[in-house]
Amino acid sequence: MTMPSSAPTLIAPSPAAFTEDGRARTYEVRTFGCQMNVHDSERMSGSLESAGYVRAATGEEADVVIINTCAVRENAAGKLYGTLGHLKSVKDKHAGMQIAVGGCLAQMDKDTVTQKAPWVDVVFGTHNMGSLPQLLERSRHNGEASLEILESLEIFPSTLPTKRDSHYSGWVSISVGCNNTCTFCIVPSLRGKEKDRRPGDILEEIKLLVDDGAIEVTLLGQNVNSYGVEFGDRQAFSKLLRACGEIEGLERVRFTSPHPAAFTDDVIDAMAETPNVMPQLHMPLQSGSDKVLKDMRRSYRSKKFLGILDRVREKIPNASITTDIIVGFPGETDEDFEDTMRVVEAARFSSAFTFQYSIREGTPAATMPNQVPKAVVQERYERLMALQQRITLEENEKQLGRTLEVLVSTGEGKKDSSTHRLTGRAEDNRLVHFEVPEGSETPRPGDVVTVTVTHAAPSHLLADSTDGAPLKIRRTRAGDAYDRSLVDSCAVPSTPGTGDGKVGLGIPTLRIGL
């Protein structure tokens, strides 16, 4: 069996990254889909910047637009081709503009993209993100579309240069692909069988992130708790969590997503016993009906699922547990749906990502009989949403009066300017909007504030001052990294090797300056 290379991947400067007068061409990456897509987009950005491209300023019309697609979400194709239709009119007026399409939908549709949108210049798949600069150069040189879809992974994406979106938090892939055969999911056929990274490579990437100022990481995989099966260690994931606890400067560790069938007590113990592993668990339920779970090929049943939650809460009483649920899977009866409602009531999820089932071509579920009528699915969906919203509010109300440590974030408080609040995430990942009293120092993104919850809503918590006292702020190395990023953005040199104006390779000791 050929293993993907884990050696650092160097991206050479590309002539296509510059205009005839020597100006660096600008790029924009638009991301559709899950956390894995977001992290993939960071790799695409890093590869482009290593080749000589520069990120377009907000609101600026980019010379190169890359669309990183998802094939899992509903109407994924419609969203892609609608976006491409709009970009055609932009490209017609923008001399030399290039459009590239990558990701899961590109992997699945292959030639279809250029057939439906012949103005697209580059199409690439999930297995060859690092080829993007080369494909853009080839397309520009030949004056025609360049299409390259590999059927298997040749290098781990984590070896590619990376342009991180956050200075205080980062994604770290521990594996790619998936060995499960869920009948509703297209991911295994698009991303391939699971391939695990070596623990040492993962830990070194985390240390690099911490060196650059990050204090939080999220471990990513299609099924993180099956990590290690490929190299014969079924406790590899719990060992990895414990090893993260030994990394100096790393304050918060999260992971997504585990599979209930492979979730073991050693992982629960590692979560409970490793201080920087956060009291948060995202555990996809998908359905509370054992019959539907069988039809989905989800190799667990509702009793086992609830048993896992009980054991997590026994060891981690303050754990926040979230989930994914599909409503209206083929053959789902009223009784099946009521089973889901009962399990949701018993599980007391902090929140749930709830989806109406829709056909995904290429999956076994797409051709199953007894597809549920849209009107029935909608009615069930609304009932489940109402139930979960009630539970979420009740669980959030239990936070009233609690003192929380909140990591200050950027871009999550859409009304902060009008409410005069800032926003961050508690240790259990709840969204918290907090007041900065008049005269108080203002925390930086990446700093940690200590606040008391004064109000609960279904989607967030509020922490307003009750006495006007200055905000309790702990300045962090992540906040320092934010300061350096501001210096870098003003073109003032910062300390060498620091700041987030660098493109990291994902492997320490090798860095490419912009």
Annotated binding-site members: 34, 70, 104, 178, 182, 185
Q: Decide: 190 and 361 in contact? Cβ < 8 Å.
A: no
Please give the full DSSP string across 315-342, using - where no structure is assigned.
Answer: H-TT-EEEEEEEES-TT--HHHHHHHHH
What single-letter DSSP state applies at residue 72? S
Please give the full DSSP string across 150-202, using - where no structure is assigned.
Answer: -SS-SB-GGGS-B--S-SSEEEEESEES-----TT--HHHHH-S-EEPPHHHH
CA 125/CA 134 separation, integer angstroms: 14
Q: Decide: 287 and 384 in contact? Cβ < 8 Å.
A: no
What single-letter DSSP state applies at residue 431? E
Dihedral (Cα; 172, 178, 179, 184), 10-degree rounding? 140
CA 50/CA 80 separation, integer angstroms: 27
The letter for the amino acid at 107 is: Q
Task: Find, among 301, 249, 258, 296, the residue nearest to 276 by Cα.
Answer: 249
The letter for the amino acid at 500 is: D
Q: Which residues are annotated as a binding site for [4Fe-4S] cluster?
A: 34, 70, 104, 178, 182, 185
CA 209/CA 217 separation, integer angstroms: 8
Beta strands in 7-60 (DSSP E): 26-31, 54-55
Q: How many CB atoms lie within 10 A of CB 292?
A: 22
Looking only at the bridges linking them, the beta strands covering 26-31 and 54-55 are parallel
For 375, left (φ over 0), alpha (ψ -120 to 50), or beta?
alpha
CA-derived radius of gyration, the chain: 23
Place of tokens 């090797």: 497
Q: Decide: 318 and 280 in contact? Cβ < 8 Å.
A: no
SS3 404: strand
From residue 76, give the alpha-carbon distance in Å to each of 150, 151, 284, 424, 504. 21, 21, 21, 30, 31
Helix, strand, coil shares of the chain as percentages rounded to 5?
35, 20, 45
Burial class (CB in 10 A: 0-12, 13-18, 19+), 483: middle
Bridge partners, 324 (sequence order): 353
Place of tokens 């987009």: 41
Q: Decide: 426 and 404 in contact? Cβ < 8 Å.
A: yes
